[in-house]
Amino acid sequence: MLQRCEACGAFAYPAREACPACLSAGLAFVDAPRRGALLAETTARVPSDVYFRERAPWRIGLVRMDCGPTMVAHLHADCAEGAPVLMSFQLDKSGQAVAFARPEGETPNMADDRQWREMTADPKFRRVLVTNGRSLIGQEAVAALKAAGAKTVFVGVSEPWRPFAGEQLLRGQQGIEVVTLDAADEKSATDLAADIGGKVDILVNTTEYVRPGGLLDRRGTGVARDEIDQAYLGFINLAQAFGPAMRMRGADGVSSSAAWVNILSVYALANWPAFGAYSASQAACLSLSHCLRAELRPGGVKVMNLFTGPIDTEWFQTVPPPKVAPRAVAQAIVSGLRGGLEEIYVGDVAEEIRQRLAANPKALERELDR
Amino acid sequence: MQGKNLLELAGAISSGAVRVVDLTFTLSPDFPVIVLPPEFGQAAPVRIQEISRYDGRGPAWYWNNVTFGEHTGTHFDAPIHWFTGKDLPNNSVDTMPAKDMIAPACVIDCSAGAAQDPDFLLTVPLVEAWEAKHGRIPERHWVLLRTDWSKKGWRDYANLRDDGAHTPGPNPAVMKWLVEERGIIGFGTETIGTDAGQAGHFEPPYPAHHFLHGAGRYGLQCLCNLDQLPATGAVIVASPLKIQNGSGSPLRVIALVSAN
């Protein structure tokens, strides 16, 4: 996104208050064409900044965008002077958006570039913990992460004495390690972290506990307590067990700890009364995720929230389509990690809620009340 | 009983002439709990959370907050647990007579049958055969069903399959007979319930619960070490937590066994 003059159409960078071409004050941020050409490049061998000094040599360059502005950008190793590049804003380890230039076309092992990996959380070569392998989403996530080149996928299974559908897809598979984990149990999370906490590079929290009902159609707090136990306290248990070691290992080589992924209902943003108490528990998790993001940031570990509408699973049986396929969630996890994103909306419902909330929150509240 | 006899008992326990056998599993989050269809309410699992452990939260002391459902771990079922016992007087763990918490036991060893068939059922003829060897089951005795199920790993212990649990238990006829013809005080098992894993398909469903609690009798489940008890002569001490209007509770079950 860059500023574009509403009067003359010129793009402006860096951000300013008036158009450099026509002095108009109407400069809105819009999606800009991403193509450019690398004008010049240099390699910083002894950077003054401590972060880059540790990672030197580091390549940067000047890119003239096809849409006008010239920007300083971090460079993919395969970018050559004079050649076309594709620009994107990436979140660096400190959470700042920085310009990054990649070759326009695909190059061999493009995603393995050292500087690119600093900006992303690519699961390739990394060890991932998927916290709940009992759910379809958990199982699809394991498969997608494996396919994306994860070195090891640890997959948590609570109550290992209890068989579950899809178990044979997890047990005895190369590169998949089934571990005992009941995230809602503090001791279980702590015990597992004692075993593998030092080698979890990406944690994908696939806790899933969906129950219908709001306040008046339920009796007592039993189900609400379960929702809070599973989703909210489970999140806290996982964060306290795995977060500190992940934060410490944020700079542990090219396959450092990199990201924490939450799968949240989009109704964390706006309460859906048909699943009202569930929405509230998800809202609590969303708030907590912002806290976790701030606490992991000093270690350079990202928190990615993935928002979905109703998923095509048993507990959303009564909800009409469109629903999100568990596989789509799994694929979005991988693409979000590869892009180093903080937020991702999967499916039409999630995207629609996001847009309607931005447009008119009160109208959305009223519309969901149906 | 003379006060002297009680002191003799205490002395015999202290000297080892009377052995104390612990029939209780450790109450922990790892122990299987009953699994109901997900649309029904579920027993809260056992959770143990530190309040402090000689640290900043309490420098000199260690203690936990513990939460669990009434029917978790080695636990006791009171008559109020089942609809058949809901209108009986003194039918909850806080109102039941304290004297019912100590009673002798007959232990029926069905470990061979259960090893052959996970859906093994105790029947009247099997109990009659036991009686032919050990004598008639006296009134107000516990009947404990030994299956050695408690020696299994947790997965085999719960033995859940697509159509539910497959674990041994009593058939309907023997439950009715033990309650009505033998006047037992209660029935105890090593498995997750007093009933067999498939007892929901029996007529009536869950006959142990149905007949025991309907007659004001008690249940004990998730027992272990039944193989250390004699067929007759052991005395069971089973005192559940005094939970207000409680339907049951985890508890420590011990057996007193004469060493000779």
Which pLDDT belongs to residue B259?
Answer: 85
Tell me the residues of chain A between 195 and 254 that have a Cβ less than 8 Å away from chain B: 222-223, 225-226
Which residues on B lie below 8 Å from A213 (Cβ)? Answer: none
- Domain boundaries defined on chain B: 19-42+70-258
d(CA A61, CA A71): 8
Question: Which residues, listed in sequence order, are joined to residue A242 by a DSSP beta bridge?
Answer: none
Shortest CA distance to A130 belongs to which of A237, A236, A187, A202?
A202
Q: Which of A159, A181, A209 to mutate to test the interface with B (most CBs of B within 10 A)?
A: A159
Chain B CA closest to residue A190: B49
How many CB pairs lie under 8 A apart between chains A and B? 35
Q: Are the C-beta atoms of residues A73 and A100 closer than 8 Å to each other?
A: yes
Q: Which domains does chain A have, with CATH numbers?
A: 33-119 (2.40.50), 127-368 (3.40.50.720)
Q: What's the sign of the alpha-carbon dihedral B144, B149, B150, B151?
A: positive
| Exposure class string for A255-291: b at 16+ Cβ within 10 A, else e | bbbbbbbbbbbbbbbbbbbbbbbbbbbbbbbbebbee
Residue A161 to residue B48, Cβ atoms within 8 A = no
Q: Are the C-beta atoms of residues B215 and B182 closer than 8 Å to each other?
A: no
Residue A187 to residue B48, Cβ atoms within 8 A = yes
Q: Give the rounded distance of the alpha carbon of A332 from its chain centre.
A: 9
- φ/ψ of B108, rounded to 5, equals -100, 115
CATH number 3.30.420.40 given to B19-42+70-258: no
Chain B CA closest to residue A219: B41
d(CA B23, CA B150): 10
Given pLDDT bands bounded at 50, 70 and 90, which one contains residue B37? confident
d(CA A342, CA A302): 7
Shortest CA distance to A12 belongs to which of A62, A67, A61?
A67
**Residue B75 annotated in active site:** no
pLDDT at B260 over 80: no
Of A161, A222, A225, the CB nearest to B154: A161
Environment class of B75 (CB within 10 Å of its CB; exposed 0-12, middle 13-18, buried 19+): buried
Chain A CA closest to residue B30: A159
Which residues on B lie below 8 Å from A162 (Cβ)? Answer: 32, 35, 158, 160
CA angle A308, A86, A1 (to 5 degrees): 55
d(CA A331, CA B125): 60
Cis amide prior to A14 (ω within 30 degrees)? yes
H-run or E-run covering B179: helix B172-180
% pLDDT > 90, chain B: 94
pLDDT averaged per 10 residues in sequence order, chain A, 370 residues: 93 92 92 95 92 91 95 95 95 92 92 92 96 96 97 96 93 94 96 97 96 91 92 97 96 89 98 96 98 96 97 92 96 97 96 97 93
Task: Name the 3-class secondary structure at A364.
Answer: helix
Residue B32 to residue A161, Cβ atoms within 8 A = yes
List, as one string, the DSSP characters of A290-318: HHHHHHHGGGT-EEEEEEES-BSSGGGTT
Shortest CA distance to B146 belongs to which of B40, B232, B252, B67?
B232
When pLDDT is averaged across residues B66-85 and rounded to a whole number, the result is 97
Q: Which of B27, B42, B47, B160 to mutate to test the interface with A (most CBs of A within 10 A)?
A: B47
Tell me the residues of chain B between 39 and 78 that have a Cβ less than 8 Å away from chain A: 41-42, 44-45, 47-50
Of A163, A188, A222, the CB nearest to B29: A188
